[in-house]
Structure 1
Amino acid sequence: MARETPYLQVAEALRARIEEGEWGIGDKLPSRAQLAAEYDIGQSVAQRAMELLIIEGLLEGRAGSGTYVRQPRLRQRMFRSRSAHSRVGGSFVATMAEKGRKGSYESRSSARLPAPEHIAARLAIKTGDMTVCTHYEYLLEGRPVQLGESWEPLALTDKTPVVLPEMGPFAGAGIVKRMRTVGVTVARAVEVPRPARATQAQANLLGISVGELVTIIERTYYDTEGRPVETADFTVPDRRWEIAYEVAVPHD
């Protein structure tokens, strides 16, 4: 094995053996110790090689059992574009309808929730300032496939008909329309996708394994003065979705 990248060498060798059919879907791979002995490497190197193939979707780890060849991923493409910001759940429902599938979402809001430190920093408010927090579950044929958690400064909408995103005359209308009713113009959104591992709570809701690869999309809306008016995290299982950004091209 080349000294500079031994785990990549091992991963490539294992990938080739899977593609050649030495192990089929559902078959258990040798243990880290066995692979380490076979390839004359350390167990940590074998572990890194297997983790790479787990990320690629060729393998899956089962707690207390071992590592197995997994069913190939059937991933759908999730487009993030300007139109995706018009309605919180509506864009998901519309996208699924275009694919001939039934999408829906469920939500629950908590008003007057003190902002934790990291959310306060994203909203440019003080830790402990009151917020409205809304949790979303996006469903495909009745099964949760994505999660969302949205935070808004209560000071913007307190004692107005739009204080709760999913209740009142503008229920489900989305942040842009709701904020417009209280004199706030949403001008732009910033999204930052990050890889992460599913927590126990996320895994339970999404029907995936603890530690499985997910993408967290951190999205923050700003008004015309650059003030954050809403921030949210969306949890997207990597095995089900690939994320694509659609960028409008200006014409002179």
Structure 2
Amino acid sequence: MTFGEQPAYLRVAGDLRRKIVDGSLPPHARLPSQARIREEYGVSDTVALEARKVLMAEGLVEGRSGSGTYVREQPVPRRVARAGYRTGGASTPFRQEQSDPGTRGTWESGSEQTGAPTEIAKRLGIEPGERVMRTRYVFRDAGEVMMLSTSWEPLAVTGRTPVMLPEEGPLGGSGVVDRMAAIDVVVDNVVEEVGARPGLAEELLLLGGVPGHVVLVIGRTYYASGRAVETADVVVPADRYRLAYHLPVR
């Protein structure tokens, strides 16, 4: 293969992708069979199969048991604006949106005490196994699961205080900054790291994705005078969200 040439399976996948994008193969249309791809493009069964696998991995098509492979209807990405902390109880990008008119978001959560896993302990600056409050969130828009989040707070900071449970008590659901302020902990810095990875099986089961679908992960940590007081992972489907950051110039 010379420079610039594509493997045959990528060439076939590229042509089929073009037909999907330009509407020649509209949503819910059946993808040509493996035999049809082999004949139309003059390739082997192996090449035809690999081309179909590429389109499935990209989320453009989906297999239906006993029926064939069909073009998926592509969601319109939803914009999530990130512009720093906003008062009024919002603790995640999704929950901030729910205060806006016209949104139909709901969420559920559950908290439990547990030992900090090694990676979470590193983010919080504590020893692995130290006690933390872990809270898991499932966010829905019009009933459809759109976002997952898991947060960890060191019980050395919040234990035996009125804000120990993030979603219960007098400041339940008020957001990290307001809750910490109530126990005289002043949050002065927030760090977010955004990455992408294949979704875990349990995540995709909730989010309605298929194996191989990519998710965006926002790793967010709140600090008070250099001490981490909360860290969280927010997981969103990469094909449904675009993160838009608005950062002031100082």
In the superposition, the TM-score normalised over structure 1's length comes to 0.81
**2:84 matched residue in structure 1:** 82
- C-alpha distance in 2, partners of 1:197/1:152? 26
Note the alpha carbon deviations across 1:193-231, whole angstroms, 9 max, x for none.
11122222212222332332211111111222x221111
Farther-moved stretch of structure 1 (38-47 vs 214-223): 38-47
Check whether the contact 1:137–1:146 (CA below 8 A) recurs between aligned residues.
Answer: yes
**2:244 matched residue in structure 1:** 244
Check whether the contact 2:56–2:62 (CA below 8 A) recurs between aligned residues.
Answer: no
Amino acid at match of 2:111: S
**1:163 matched residue in structure 2:** 164
**1:220 matched residue in structure 2:** 221
* Structure 1 residues 84 and 213, CA gap change in structure 2 (3 angstroms): farther
**1:118 matched residue in structure 2:** 119
Q: How does 1:27-106 map to 2 (within 5 A)?
A: 27-30=29-32, 35=37, 38=41, 40=43, 43=46, 47=50, 51=54, 54-55=57-58, 59-62=60-63, 67-83=69-85, 87-89=89-91, 92-98=94-100, 100-106=102-108
What is the deviation of 1:155? 0.4
In the superposition, the TM-score normalised over structure 2's length comes to 0.82
Residue of 103, 106, 109 corresponding to 1:107? 109
Check whether the contact 2:37–2:48 (CA below 8 A) recurs between aligned residues.
Answer: no
What is the deviation of 1:182? 2.4
Farther-moved stretch of structure 1 (99-108 vs 64-73): 64-73
- C-alpha distance in 2, partners of 1:149/1:85? 21
Check whether the contact 1:8–1:49 (CA below 8 A) recurs between aligned residues.
Answer: no
Q: Where does the alignment leave 5 or more consecutive residues of structure 2 unmatched? A: none
Farther-moved stretch of structure 1 (61-70 vs 34-43): 34-43
Check whether the contact 2:111–2:135 (CA below 8 A) recurs between aligned residues.
Answer: yes
**1:13 matched residue in structure 2:** 15
- C-alpha distance in 1, partners of 2:13/2:205? 30
- C-alpha distance in 2, partners of 1:91/1:45? 42
Residue of 7, 22, 27 corresponding to 1:25? 27
Q: How does 1:196-207 map to 2 (within 5 A)?
A: 196-207=197-208
**2:181 matched residue in structure 1:** 180
**1:231 matched residue in structure 2:** 231
DSSP 3-state at the match of 1:202: helix
What is the deviation of 1:172? 0.9
Amino acid at match of 1:181: A
- C-alpha distance in 2, partners of 1:106/1:83? 22
**Aligned length, in residue pairs:** 246
- C-alpha distance in 2, partners of 1:204/1:182? 38
* Structure 1 residues 153 and 85, CA gap change in structure 2 (3 angstroms): farther
Q: Where does the alignment leave 5 or more consecutive residues of structure 1 unmatched? A: none
- C-alpha distance in 2, partners of 1:115/1:30? 50
Amino acid at match of 1:95: E
- C-alpha distance in 2, partners of 1:36/1:239? 30
* Structure 1 residues 88 and 32, CA gap change in structure 2 (3 angstroms): farther
DSSP 3-state at the match of 1:169: coil
Amino-acid identity (%): 36
Amino acid at match of 1:171: G
- C-alpha distance in 2, partners of 1:78/1:18? 27
What is the deviation of 1:147? 0.6
Q: What is the CA RMSD across the aligned residues, in angstroms?
A: 3.1
- C-alpha distance in 2, partners of 1:160/1:142? 34
